[in-house]
Amino acid sequence: MSDASRRSNLPPLALHVPEPKFRPGDTVDFAQVAVPPVDAARRPDTADAAHGFHELAFGLVRVLDMDGTAGGQWDPRISPDLKRQMLRNMALTRAFDERMFRAQRQGKTSFYMKSLGEEAVSVGAAAALASDDMVFPSYRQQGILISRGCPLTDMMNQIYSNRGDKLQGKQLPIMYSEKGYSFFSISGNLTTQYPQAVGWAMASAAKGDTRIAATWCGEGSTAEGDFHSACTFASVYRAPVIFNVVNNQWAISSFSGFAGAEATTFAARAIGYGIAGIRVDGNDVLAVYAATLWAAERARTNAGPTLIEHFTYRAEGHSTSDDPGQYRSEGEPNAWPLGDPIKRLKAHLITIGEWDEERHDAMDREVAEQVKAAQKEAEKNGILGHGLHQPLDSLFDGVFEEMPWHLREQQAQMLAEEEASGRPWARK
């Protein structure tokens, strides 16, 4: 009997194609999303071996309950002043996003990406890390720069690619690079920052430094080979690095299932590499702060790397080029069971008697005016469509330490064509 005959009674092979639960027009019900109590997750000692707390990769570290109270072993018990500072940084990030989004719609820049609903991921981490720890961000961590005090005008100059842009218009808008704020250059190529962060962390350890590295990517980017290469090196050499996976449910128009979310959590990927894995409520800034502080202590005491999955939701489109209404239900952002990070911290501060509606409204007005003033200053340096903002002959600078012959030839050809045109390209 042939092999084919012996298999004649078997069903044909089939592939599973992930499908999101809700599409445009569907009624949203996130009842399947498990939200455990704030006291459900234990907090291991930072010196514990990674294999001793695998359950943290499958649960959800939480501090803020939905009623505004805080509790559980992960409660960092920080001062009200620090909580208010994080609240302001999240509000400032949101105000900055809103104004730059409108600037793009007005044609002042070509592109922008909001972090609406995800502000706690960057602001909480920035508060927990040392200011000189090196961060290797993805393109939705503007809250780190804002928390570290980077001038808003400098950030806007980069978005406008104008005369004040320190990168001379050679990077896409929102792909900042700020050495003075230990903020590594953002790349549009997904997850290249992961092995770069590990390499930097290994170099820091090799030199006997005390600074650590932290890096971020979206959940969809964990399917990239760079993610796995980084995890391997970090695991083998116990590099002092924190891996942050921002699981905001959507990678542009592909939902998280295509990156493996239907099979297990993203924090569980740490288990296979023998590194610490924690799944955190990404809309709870105190939980993000506590988890990052814990991971930073592990890294700084040579206990190895940590992978933190921030379970959150992307409330807006992927970018100004995206229309989420084409692929997901419009009811999703408001139905997300973990709420809004700003509203949750605000409710907590009010609950403990350290905040009120009047002060919150005043803060919103203050940050809006701060962003408005910064925009006015940045636009003095130019906006999109108002000519060439950088010297044309600088186009080839900053690529090589010494310009190679073929680029010198191309530069000369470009300048000759400009001269022959009879009008500067800056006025075209």
Residues 76 and 193 both lie in one domain: yes
Of the listed ranges 133-147, 231-245, 411-425, the one predicted with least confidence: 411-425
How does pLDDT run across 84-109, given as a tens digit for each residue?
999 999 999 999 999 999 999 999 99
pLDDT at 428 exceeding the cut of 70:
no
pLDDT at 4 exceeding the cut of 90:
no
Angle between helices 119-128 and 80-105 (to 10 degrees): 140
Say if residues 89 and 146 touch (Cβ distance below 8 Å).
Answer: yes
Q: Is 327 a catalytic residue?
A: yes
**Residues 6 or more apart from 70 whose CB is under 8 A from it?**
38, 63, 64, 286, 348, 352
Say if residues 95 and 371 touch (Cβ distance below 8 Å).
Answer: yes
Copy the structure tokens of residue 119: 């502000």
Question: Looking at 381, 402, 418, which one is the last position of a domain?
Answer: 381
Instruction: Say whether 413 sits in a helix, a strand or coil.
Output: helix
Residues 397 and 375 both lie in one domain: no
Residues 309 and 349 both lie in one domain: yes
pLDDT at 302 exceeding the cut of 90:
yes
Residues 401 and 290 both lie in one domain: no
pLDDT at 116 exceeding the cut of 50:
yes
Angle between helices 285-300 and 80-105 (to 10 degrees): 110
Cα dihedral angle (381, 384, 388, 392), rounded to 10 degrees? 100
Of the listed ranges 273-277, 287-291, 364-368, 394-398, the one predicted with least confidence: 394-398
Query: Does 288 map to a domain?
Result: yes
Query: Does 253 map to a domain?
Result: yes
Query: Does 258 map to a domain?
Result: yes
Copy the structure tokens of residue 424: 């500067």
Model pLDDT, residue 423: 67
Distance CA 406, CA 404 (A): 6
Query: Does 213 map to a domain?
Result: yes
Distance CA 61, CA 82 (A): 20
Model pLDDT, residue 242: 99
Distance CA 229, CA 234 (A): 9
Residues 288 and 177 both lie in one domain: yes
Give, as one character, the DSSP assignment of residue 266: S
Residues 341 and 399 both lie in one domain: no
Q: Which residue has the tokens 């930072």?
A: 46
The confidence band for 308, taking pLDDT boundaries of 50, 70 and 90, is very high
Spot the catalytic one: 54, 99, 327, 359. 327
Residues 300 and 211 both lie in one domain: yes
Distance CA 395, CA 412 (A): 11
Residues 400 and 355 both lie in one domain: no
Instruction: Say whether 173 sits in a helix, a strand or coil.
Output: coil
Question: Looking at 381, 402, 417, which one is the last position of a domain?
Answer: 381
Spot the catalytic one: 140, 318, 344, 348. 318
Say if residues 223 and 260 touch (Cβ distance below 8 Å).
Answer: yes
Boundaries of domain holding 233: 50-319+333-381
CA 221 from chain centre, in angstroms, equals 12
Distance CA 340, CA 288 (A): 14
**Ordered DSSP codes for 104-171:** HHTTSSS-----TT-HHHHHHHHHHS-TTSEEE--TT-HHHHHHTT--HHHHHHHHHT-TT-TTTT-S
Model pLDDT, residue 426: 46
Mean pLDDT of the chain: 95
Model pLDDT, residue 1: 67
Query: Does 27 map to a domain?
Result: no
**Ordered DSSP codes for 285-342:** HHHHHHHHHHHHHHHHTT---EEEEEE----S-SSTT--GGGTS-TTHHHH-TT--HH
- Specify burial of residue 21 (Cβ count, 10 A radius: 0-12, 13-18, 19+): middle
Copy the structure tokens of residue 361: 């409204």
The confidence band for 427, taking pLDDT boundaries of 50, 70 and 90, is very low
Query: Does 41 map to a domain?
Result: no
Residues 242 and 195 both lie in one domain: yes
pLDDT at 420 exceeding the cut of 60:
yes
Domain count, the chain: 2
Residues 399 and 420 both lie in one domain: yes
Residues 308 and 415 both lie in one domain: no
Query: Does 44 map to a domain?
Result: no
374-403: average pLDDT: 90
Percent of the chain with pLDDT over 90: 90
Spot the catalytic one: 62, 140, 269, 314. 314
pLDDT at 392 exceeding the cut of 90:
no
- Specify burial of residue 319 (Cβ count, 10 A radius: 0-12, 13-18, 19+): middle
Nearest to 274 by CA among 250, 251, 306: 306
Model pLDDT, residue 354: 98
**β partners of residue 215:** 136, 243
367-389: average pLDDT: 94
Residues 412 and 302 both lie in one domain: no
How does pLDDT run across 199-222, given as a tens digit for each residue?
999 999 999 999 999 999 999 999
Of the listed ranges 43-57, 122-136, 403-417, the one predicted with least confidence: 403-417
Cα dihedral angle (99, 102, 108, 114), rounded to 10 degrees? 70
CATH number assigned to the domain comprising residue 293: 3.40.50.970
Query: Does 261 map to a domain?
Result: yes
